[in-house]
Structures are given as C-alpha cells and as structure tokens.
C-alpha cells in the first residue's frame, strides 16, 4: 500500500489519527510529520516513520512528502497565518507527487453565518485553494470537540448552573478520538474523493439539554443561563483568562447562538461503523464523570 502521512503528529488530533491508522494498516505504510521529531518518539516506537516538516518551511514539506500518496492535513492553529501555511502544504504536496489531501475544516451551515474570527475565513479559503489545486481532495468539516465543552461552559459546569453566550442555539459535537478514528477510516477507504464530509454525532442539542444531562449524570441541580458575548468575555477575564482567548471562545458561542452549527450528519456513524458516542457519553469524557 502507498504511504499515508499525517501532519501535526504530536498534536491531539494528528496523534490520534496515527494511532488509529496503525490499527487498520501496517505501521510501515504510515508516516508522521512533526516540527520536533524528538517529541514523536512514542510514534516511532510503534513502527511509524517520523519525518520533520514545518508548515512555514516549504522545502521541508516537499522532502517530508516524498513517496507519499495521501496527506492528512491538520489545520494550523487559529490566529496564525493559517492560509499561507495551508497553501505551503498543498503546493508542496502537489510538487512531491502526493495524490490525495484530506483537510480538517470547520463545520458551518454556510460561509456567511456567524464566522469565527481566526478560523472560518482561512478554512473557507483553504477549501477553495485545495479544490482548485488539481489534487484529489476530501474536506472533513469538524464540529466543536465535545472534549472542549468545559472551555465554553466552565470546568465546574457539571456541579452548578453554568452560563454561556449560546442563547437558544443548538449544536452537534463529537469527541476528537472518534473524529480521528473516522479520519483513519476515510484515509484507508475509497469513495470519498473530491467530497466535503461533515462529521458530527448525528444529532443536535440545546444547552438546556446539556444542563439536564449533566444534572442526570451527577444528581446535582445543574442549570443553564444564557448570557451576552460581552458578559461572557468579562466573566472569563475576571477569572484570569487572556482577553484574546475569551473573545475567541465567545465566537464559538455566538456562532452556536446564531445556528451556525445546527446541522447533523450520519457520515461519522458510517465511517465508524457504529453510533457515535451520545451526549451523556461525551459529557462523561469531557468532565471526567
């Protein structure tokens, strides 16, 4: 089998994709790309080839992609020059002879509704660039990770009434582990070429339902109080959060409030071959319940 390379190998998503891949195909067919290869030693111990590569270093990317058939491109962090980095990866992949690039983008109803600063616009631009690159592509649109819900609703939300700038909006979620498992399945299957694939748990929930579920799990009187974006930012700042982080998280809440994530899909279920983790299971993971 031709080699499959996963970028961001030492990050949460990339690492999980790699570990899922070696459950499906021989480790000798899997390549991990990392900026710091020393941090990828646990992957090398699994028999995965580790190559150095940096999104900002075009030549390192071309070298890393040599002999690779598919690349799983984990999107760059928010508030960096994401589009330039993604273009480097896609252009280098084309030059190195890569056939297929899978890009991790953001779930959205459309391109205009409540974009999240630092993420949405660069994701849209990357999708367009990839579609016109001449490479075979798959765009996987991810929801908010269920694991990160404590960042939005508070680490103590399982024990008391919580607040968030999500209004009466509904959203679907998924655990990063199941998204990674689905990514590995997609990389080892055919039929996903030149497609956009929305991955989430297949159901949407309100934050009242999240509170009710937490209350059922814990037996405590958990409730939900909608608040404004401004109030959310002020509360996070008073807790010692950097203003930029508070504003970034408020963008996710605002997008949920406006309905930008109120769409479900069965694609994750099909890739996993089972029902994704339900809301109770996701909350248990997120809050270690």
pLDDT digits (tens, 9 = 90+) for 169-210: 999 999 999 999 999 999 999 999 999 999 999 999 999 999
**Rounded Cα distance, 129 and 134, in Å:** 10
Residue-wise pLDDT tens digits, 21-33: 999 999 999 999 9
Strand residues in 11-84 grouped as ranges (E): 30-34, 49-52, 68-73
What percentage of the chain has pLDDT greater than the value 70?
100
Going by pLDDT thresholds of 50, 70 and 90, the confidence category of residue 245 is: very high
Per DSSP bridges, beta strands 144-145 and 205-206 are: unpaired
The closest alpha carbon to 71, from 33, 47, 100, belongs to 100
The closest alpha carbon to 13, from 123, 197, 176, 184, belongs to 176
The pLDDT mean for the chain works out to 96
On the CB side of 104, CA atoms within 13 Å amount to 26
Show Cβ contacts of residue 7 under 8 Å, excluding neighbours closer than 6 positions. 14, 33, 53, 55, 71, 72, 73, 74, 89
Q: What angle do CA 41, 47, 53 make, to 5 degrees?
A: 55
**Rounded Cα distance, 75 and 126, in Å:** 9
36, burial (CB in 10 Å: exposed 0-12, middle 13-18, buried 19+): exposed
pLDDT of residue 1: 61
- CA quadruple 56, 59, 62, 64: dihedral, nearest 10: -80
The whole-model pTM stands at 0.96
Domain locations in the chain as residue ranges:
4-142
Architecture of domain 4-142: 3-Layer(aba) Sandwich (3.40)
């Amino acid at each position: 089998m031709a080699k499959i390379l996963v970028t961001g190998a030492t990050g949460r998503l990339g690492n999980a994709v790699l570990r899922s891949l070696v459950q499906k195909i021989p480790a000798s067919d899997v390549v991990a790309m990392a900026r710091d290869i020393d941090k990828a030693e646990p992957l090398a111990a699994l028999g995965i080839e580790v190559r150095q590569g940096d999104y900002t270093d075009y030549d390192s990317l071309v070298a890393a992609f040599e002999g690779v058939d598919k690349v799983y491109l984990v999107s760059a962090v928010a508030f960096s020059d994401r589009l330039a980095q993604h273009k480097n990866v896609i252009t280098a992949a084309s030059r190195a002879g890569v056939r297929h690039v899978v890009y991790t983008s953001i779930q959205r109803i459309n391109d205009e509704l409540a974009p999240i600063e630092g993420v949405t616009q660069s994701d849209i631009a990357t999708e367009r660039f990839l579609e016109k690159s001449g490479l075979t592509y798959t765009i996987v649109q991810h929801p908010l990770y269920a694991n990160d819900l404590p960042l939005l609703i508070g680490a103590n939300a399982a024990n008391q009434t919580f607040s968030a700038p999500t209004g009466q909006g509904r959203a679907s979620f998924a655990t990063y582990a199941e998204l990674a498992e689905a990514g590995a399945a997609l990389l080892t299957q055919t039929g996903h070429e030149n497609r956009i694939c929305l991955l989430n748990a297949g159901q949407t929930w309100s934050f009242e339902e999240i509170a009710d579920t937490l209350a059922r799990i814990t037996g405590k009187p958990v409730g939900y109080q909608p608040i404004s974006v401004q109030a959310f930012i002020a509360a996070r700042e008073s807790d010692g959060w950097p203003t930029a982080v508070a504003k970034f998280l408020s963008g996710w809440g605002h997008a949920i409030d406006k309905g930008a994530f109120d769409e479900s899909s069965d694609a994750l279920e099909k890739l996993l071959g089972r029902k994704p983790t339900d809301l109770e299971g996701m909350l248990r993971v997120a809050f270690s319940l």
